[in-house]
Structure 1
Amino acid sequence: MKIRRTPWWQYVVALLLGLIAGCLLVQVSESSGLSLLGAPWFVSVVLLLLGIVVLVMALQVHQYATTDPQKRARLKPLDPTKAVYTLMLSKALGLTGAALAGWYVGQILLVLDHIEADYYATAVTQCAVAAVICLADMVIGIVGEWLCQLPPMEGPENPKMKAAKRRRGIASATAKTRH
């Protein structure tokens, strides 16, 4: 199974889509009179805890994957399913963190004109805290995805094997020209 890293532009797209959605939410909230702005503190705490859990899991996968095979026998075995789930959680956390950061920043940008009102000042504070946590989650997702990378095995895709193959190719080509 070959899983590729999430391209950088997907984070930018998620951030921009979240920004647009956050701006639309402010306009709908102001035109309808509904109180939809801000982020409950509970949401920020849950997002922070989720980021910490994913980071700890990714560090466990990284420790196991980078440990020497002889030393690895002494470690508690790592379930491959847990490693794949950790990778998927890291990918999801990175993209979701980007989208939610855009969502909260979009709300902040359109409400800054009304910040003197207590309601809007509270909404800006809540959104700012949530946006910082979501950006941290995005970074944790990107780092977690990197931590879940497996080192190359001694197969044909290993850089050492490719270099040895090239050397052998050069050596055999020079040997043929000498004869």
Structure 2
Amino acid sequence: MKMRRTPWWQYVVAIILGTLCGATLVKATEHSAYTLMGAPWLVSLLLAMLGTLVLIMSWQVRKYVKGELKAMSMDRAVNTLLLAKSLGIAGAALAGWYGGQLLMSIGHLEAEFYGDAALECGVATVICLVDMVIGIVGEYWCQLPPKDGPEHPRTKEAERRRNLAPAAGASAGASTDAATGVAGTTTGTINR
């Protein structure tokens, strides 16, 4: 399986889109009786716990790659890589989302609701940025050294040589009598 590193511009796009969506949400619900602004403290706690979990799992894959850990399931290593990639992009998008809400609520900090929402969004933005960094670092740590898979040029060359070896061995053991043109073997019989 071949996986590529997440390009840097995808994080930038996720932050920009998240910021636009978060700011639009605040602007759209500014004069409404209902609002979705802010981040419950439980969300910030869960995001911090998720980042910690991905960091620990990525560290274990790093120890395996360095040889400090003797055995690890490749499924676990791949799943850790997928979690790290997902956490990086989701962290960027959510940092933009909560950052956009924070930017739009700064002008209304005198109101208690906006002050509380700005504090919640500020904490959530910082946690999401940390999660994004953990995702990027975890993705780097989960890089496994390349193995010679079936499509690797060295493996193909070794397979080609293996396939040629029996044919060369069979032709070396067989001989042809020049006078009669009869094929014989050199294993123990003498052709006269």
Smaller-chain TM-score range?
0.7 to 0.9
Q: In 2, are the aligned partners of 1:54 and 1:90 still within 8 Å (CA)?
A: yes
| Aligned with residue 133 of structure 1, among 117, 127, 132 | 127
Comparing both structures, which one devotes a greater share of its residues to helix?
1
Q: In 2, are the aligned partners of 1:66 and 1:150 still within 8 Å (CA)?
A: no
**What does residue range 114-153 of structure 1 map to in structure 2 within 5 Å?**
114-153=108-147
How far does the alpha carbon of each residue in 1:114-133 deviate from its partner, in whole angstroms, 9 at most, with x for none?
A: 00111111000000000000
**Residue in 2 aligned with 1:170?**
none
Once the two structures are TM-superposed, the CA of residue 31 in structure 1 deviates from its matched residue by 3.2
Give distance in 1, aligned partners of 2:13 and 2:114. 27
**Residue in 1 aligned with 2:14?**
14
Q: Superposition RMSD on alpha carbons, in Å?
A: 1.8
| Aligned with residue 107 of structure 2, among 109, 113, 124 | 113
**Residue in 2 aligned with 1:95?**
89
Pair 1:46 & 2:46 matched: yes
Q: Which amino acid aligns with 2:31?
A: S
Q: In 2, are the aligned partners of 1:83 and 1:148 still within 8 Å (CA)?
A: yes
**Residue in 2 aligned with 1:82?**
76
Once the two structures are TM-superposed, the CA of residue 35 in structure 1 deviates from its matched residue by 2.7
Q: Which amino acid aligns with 1:7?
A: P
Q: In 2, are the aligned partners of 1:23 and 1:110 still within 8 Å (CA)?
A: yes
**Residue in 2 aligned with 1:177?**
none
- Structure scoring higher RCO (CA < 8 A, sep ≥ 6) equals 1
Q: Secondary structure at the match of 1:31?
A: coil
**Residue in 1 aligned with 2:163?**
none
Q: In 2, are the aligned partners of 1:15 and 1:101 still within 8 Å (CA)?
A: yes
* Deviates further, 42-51 or 30-39: 30-39
- Pairs aligned (count): 152
Gaps of 5+ in 2: 154-192
Once the two structures are TM-superposed, the CA of residue 151 in structure 1 deviates from its matched residue by 2.6
How far does the alpha carbon of each residue in 1:113-159 deviate from its partner, in whole angstroms, 9 at most, with x for none?
A: 100111111000000000000000000000000000013457979xx
Once the two structures are TM-superposed, the CA of residue 32 in structure 1 deviates from its matched residue by 2.4
State which structure, 1 or 2, has the greater radius of gyration over its C-alpha atoms: 2
The percent of aligned pairs where both chains have the same amino acid is 54
Give distance in 2, aligned partners of 1:51 and 1:35. 28
Give distance in 1, aligned partners of 2:31 and 2:60. 48
Q: Secondary structure at the match of 1:101?
A: helix
Gaps of 5+ in 1: 158-179
Give distance in 1, aligned partners of 2:48 and 2:41. 11
Q: Which amino acid aligns with 1:48?
A: A
